[in-house]
Amino acid sequence: MTIVTATGPCDAPDVVDVVALGESMVTFLPSRPGRLADVPSFDRGIGGAESNVVCALAAAGHPVRWVGRVGADGFGDHLVETIGSYGVDVTRVRRDPARPTGVYFRTAGDRADDTHEVAYYRAGSAASAMSVDTVGLDAVRAGRVLHLTGITAALSADCLGLLRELTAPGPDRPLVSFDVNHRPRLWTDGNSPQVLLELARGADLVFVGEDEAADVWGLDGADAVRTAFPDTGVLVVKQGALGATVFDREHVLHVPAPRVDVVAAVGAGDAFAAGFLSATLRGLPVRDRLRHGHLMAAAALTVPGDLAMPPSRDHADRLAALDDTAWGRLRLGPGWTHPEDRADEEVPTP
């Protein structure tokens, strides 16, 4: 199977494997299940689709950069220090003395559950002021891959203009990875279907959930998604617990996901993108790119927050190389990424 492999200006002095641009926020995670009105206390964490991806990639051994804007406040300090502690280059993050760092609170349940609540405090945030004039475009483009998401497009007109600039054809453009990441609460003008379609069609590699494509564009199934993106070099349709399907210009491949004992259903999509990008950068076979995506997602699903330490490269490679029967028996639970702590991962199907 032929699939696009990341290439780019690798002779640039500050080139990295992946640059991700977007808003990161301080996240407040509930100390117990229940409505936001009833939760008495919260634990502080960090959240942001794009920074989640590069934190996971850095933990997996890739040189990466996060580009964004935060306030000149304590929450901004916390974000920059925490993301940097993963090994991510944060030297191109800009501080805004006039706008705050975004924060949000969420309940403990599954994001897809009707009882799940998220309270965003990001309107007028420092990140919403990102534009072609306030972001260093050379630093953004100095990677083999540039990773973007549809979340940024919803933050402001300037942010949308920036994404249009970065997804436009050009001689200095790296491979553009785009995760649709539709967040209905952020789209107040009803323009999300056409805007996300435009941006996704401008990317080289697109990640989209099958359910997400149904909600945004009314597309039914992976084949219908491919029909909507006939010219996309690599299209990855995530299908939840069923697995994922990848389309390139000539082939289609579906790889089932392993069974996972879920602790919290957050961060899996970002982790999947990180796993797939890591394996792509390493030139691994297409099946293994999907399997590495599933394994990274499983790491995120088996911890309470958005970010998880991925398995070691050797451990992940060993699991990704399993034959189809052994892969089908795989069941992953809390602690599976730490070989010294885990039980046998291969659990027979009941």
Name the amino acid, one letter, at 278: S
What's the predicted TM-score (pTM) here? 0.91
Q: Are 294 and 272 in contact (CB under 8 A)?
A: yes
DSSP states of 266-332: SSHHHHHHHHHHHHHHTT--HHHHHHHHHHHHHHHHTSSSS--PPPPHHHHHHHHTS-HHHHHHBEE
Q: What is the predicted pLDDT for the residue at 12? A: 36
Selection from 81, 123, 80, 129 nearest residue 103 by Cα: 123
Tell me 57's DSSP state: H
CA dist 275 and 175 (Å) reads 16
- Supply the pLDDT for residue 172: 84
Per-residue model confidence as pLDDT tens digits over 120-168 = 899 999 999 999 999 999 999 999 999 999 999 999 999 999 999 999 9
Record the tokens describing residue 222, joined without a space: 């992976």
Please provide the average confidence, as pLDDT, over all residues in the chain. 90
Q: 59-100: per-residue pLDDT in tens?
A: 999 999 999 999 999 999 999 999 999 999 999 999 999 999
> Distances in Å between the alpha carbon of 11 and those of 8, 16, 64, 143, 281?
9, 10, 16, 10, 16
Helix (H, G, I), strand (E, B) or coil at 74: helix
SS3 of residue 242 by DSSP:
helix
**pLDDT of 108 over the 80 cut:** no
111 pLDDT tier (thresholds 50, 70, 90):
low
CB within 8 Å of 292: residues ≥ 6 apart: 275, 276, 278, 279, 284, 316, 320
pLDDT at 98: 96
Q: What amino acid positions are annotated as catalytic residues? A: 270
pLDDT at 133: 96
Q: How far apart are CA 350 and CA 346, in angstroms?
A: 12
**1 pLDDT higher than 70:** no
pLDDT of residue 5: 39
Q: Residue 197's Cα: distance from chain center in Å?
A: 18
Mean pLDDT of 191-200: 97
Cβ-proximal residues to 182 (8 Å cutoff; 6+ apart), any chain: 150, 192, 196, 212, 215, 216
In terms of Cα–Cα distance, which of 143, 187, 118, 192 is closest to 21? 143
